[in-house]
Structure 1
Amino acid sequence: MTAPHQTRLAAEYDTADRARAIERSIRPEIDDIEGDRTTARLSRDGQRVEIIVEAADLVALRAGINTWLTLRGVAETVSGGCD
């Protein structure tokens, strides 16, 4: 999908292990959530995790951002013991 709208959701964690735990928690959702109007990519570099959300329109972008921020928040909550 080549989408006209895009945002990057980046977070830096205290340790690379915590970032890895967040990435591993989110990664399975990448292929499961994609739709006709929104896609997402996930990457990690050391302590930084980045999710790129692309969408065909602004409504889909807002929905995608909300979805990925929620998933990242849940992953952060459950991985709290990884520090």
Structure 2
Amino acid sequence: MPGGGTDYDHDAVLSFPYPAERRARDVHDAVAVEVGEVDDDRSRATVSRAGRTVEVRVRARDLVALRAGTNTWVRLVRVAEEIADVADVSRTE
């Protein structure tokens, strides 16, 4: 950012609803540990859960960083969902 500013002027909220609270909790717990680990000097993220919905808020200094951050978090959530699917199959066997 010109002038060396530190404000995160851009943000996106990604909302992931699930049919069951257990699935939302599993996904939330899996991705929440990544908060702070994938942050850099241009973007930050938070993860929260309300009932059956997981929300990821990505804040960034510029639009390129916002896009990269949202892509990263969408991938992390997708992997968590895939692992939860495998765990569900294992529970029923």
CA RMSD, 1 decimal: 1.3
Q: Which amino acid aligns with 1:5?
A: H
The residue that corresponds to 2:41 in the other structure is 36
Unaligned runs of 5+ in 2: 1-5
Q: Which runs of 4+ in 1 moved over 4 A?
A: none
Aligned length: 82
More off after superposition, 71-80 vs 1-10? 1-10
Give secondary structure in 1 for the equivalent of 2:14. strand
Identity of aligned residues (%): 39
Q: Which amino acid aligns with 2:73?
A: W
Deviations 1:31-80 (A, max 9, x none): 21111000001100000000000000000001001100000000011101
User: In terms of Rg, which structure is larger?
Assistant: 2
Give secondary structure in 2 for the equivalent of 1:32. coil
TM-score (structure 1 length as normaliser): 0.94
Tell me if 1:5 matches 2:22: no
The residue that corresponds to 2:78 in the other structure is 73
Q: In structure 2, how many angstroms separate the alpha carbons of the residues matched to 1:16 and 1:44? A: 9
